[in-house]
Amino acid sequence: MFHMTRNNHKSETDLLGRLTDQLRAMLPSTWRVEVHVERTRERRSEVDAVVELSAPNTSPVKLAVEVKSRVQAVDAERVLRKIAAYTTGVPFIYAGFLGHRARERIIELGGNYGDATGNFRLAVADPVVYLQSNGEARDPDPAPRPLVSLKGPAAGRVVRGLCDLRPPFGVRELAVRSGTPAATISRVLQVLTDDALITRGPRGAVTDVAWEKLLARWVQDHELTKANRTSTWLAPRGLSSVLSKLPGMVDRYAITGSYAAAQFAPIAPPRLLTMYVDDVRTCAEKLDLRQADAGANVLLVEPFDPVVYERTLVRDGLVLANPSQVAADLITSPGRGPAEAVALLAWMKEHDDLWRT
């Protein structure tokens, strides 16, 4: 069995040796692994190596390998294009470490990958070869980076702005629309550019946003019940009585979660009403709610930031959080929340003219 090791050796030769060790450990003992180092100083356009995998009575598989100490998602297309320009071999990127988004991007572009911590994927159709393993989720030897997290109100405002607004737009416009300092936005945009979640023009304007993947990236650092103050309540007369009182009794609110999703992409009757409100106690008194740990049918949420009230939609007189916020909240919710998120995201892709401005 191949044992995962920390990314202590960064030279191309060391990494190439690590790759061959992994291949020999993962393949049956009857297979041969041969490495042909191709790069020379005079022929810079070639790949770093061609690794030939061969089994008895089968045609060999040739991997066209580019070796890098680190590859970010934004680098994947350039590296795979370089491989394609040189050879028709199976494109393969090997690095000291590959983050989740970089691995995801390589697969999206039709490539294969491996890293020194044990993250590995090789899929070949003829002859059939499929190897996959999971290594470390975080870089054991990270390079300095000004920002690596999307936690906090400022990052949340930027993410919501990027999802909700139609590009193109520049840093200054996004700063005004999201109420966030331009310097903070620039740091967030750099992280998202590295992860290939946004595309920027020559002058730095955002020209495209992979908003669905951006939401998935955001909730790695932002969960509904961890990022906000939440409490569970019981509406003794049922949800219909709460919903009928809302418009006239609560000054500012935004419904999220299952109930909001059901207004766009219903998959089952919602059993829990989740609402952002400014003051939980005051809201509970106005709506005649009783605090309850068991049997609760209302979840009241004091939001991490007022951005949850921005770009809301109104359905049947009720204020719903923007679908981008609702989807993010459902992805990290228990029970059928993730399934409801999938249905809502599908609706959002087909109706982006209804929720993006």
Residues 313-336: pLDDT tens digits? 999 999 999 999 999 999 999 889
- Which pLDDT value is given to residue 38? 57
> What is the pLDDT confidence band of residue 40, given thresholds at 50, 70 and 90?
very low
Composition of the chain by helix, strand, coil, percent to 5: 40, 25, 40
Strands 90-97 and 273-277 come out as unpaired
> What is the pLDDT confidence band of residue 140, given thresholds at 50, 70 and 90?
confident
User: In one letter, which amino acid is 109?
Assistant: L
Q: What average pLDDT does this structure show over 280-308?
A: 95
Statement: residue 168 has pLDDT above 80 = yes
Statement: residue 298 has pLDDT above 70 = yes
Name all contacts of 247-254 with Cβ < 8 Å and 24+ positions apart.
Answer: 247/317, 247/318, 249/286, 249/287, 250/277, 250/283, 250/286, 250/287, 251/278, 252/277, 252/278, 252/309, 253/277, 253/283, 253/319, 254/308, 254/309, 254/312, 254/319, 254/320, 254/321, 254/325
- Which pLDDT value is given to residue 163? 98
pLDDT above 90 covers a percentage of the chain that reads 82
pLDDT tens for each residue of 199-240 = 999 999 999 999 999 999 999 999 999 999 999 999 999 999
CB 300 within 8 A of CB 233: yes
CB 28 within 8 A of CB 54: no
pTM of the model: 0.77
For residue 313, give both structure tokens.
Answer: 């939609």
The lowest-confidence range among 82-91, 102-111, 152-161 is 82-91
User: In one letter, which amino acid is 37?
Assistant: V
- Which pLDDT value is given to residue 231? 96
Q: What is the DSSP letter of 11?
A: S
- Which pLDDT value is given to residue 86? 81
User: In one letter, which amino acid is 290?
Assistant: R
Partners of residue 93 on adjacent β-strands? 66, 113
pLDDT higher at 12 or 132 = 132
- Which pLDDT value is given to residue 42? 43
Number of continuous H segments (helices) and E segments (strands) in the chain: 14, 16
> What is the pLDDT confidence band of residue 299, given thresholds at 50, 70 and 90?
very high
pLDDT tens for each residue of 88-134 = 899 999 999 999 999 999 999 999 999 999 999 999 998 899 999 99
For residue 155, the tally of other CB atoms under 10 A from its CB is 23
Partners of residue 52 on adjacent β-strands? 34, 62
CA pair distance 126, 112, nearest whole angstrom: 15
DSSP H stretches of helix in the chain: 12-26, 73-86, 100-108, 153-164, 171-178, 182-194, 211-218, 224-227, 239-249, 257-262, 280-287, 323-331, 337-350, 352-355
- Which pLDDT value is given to residue 41? 45
- Which pLDDT value is given to residue 10? 61
- Which pLDDT value is given to residue 144? 64
Statement: residue 6 has pLDDT above 60 = no
> What is the pLDDT confidence band of residue 149, given thresholds at 50, 70 and 90?
confident
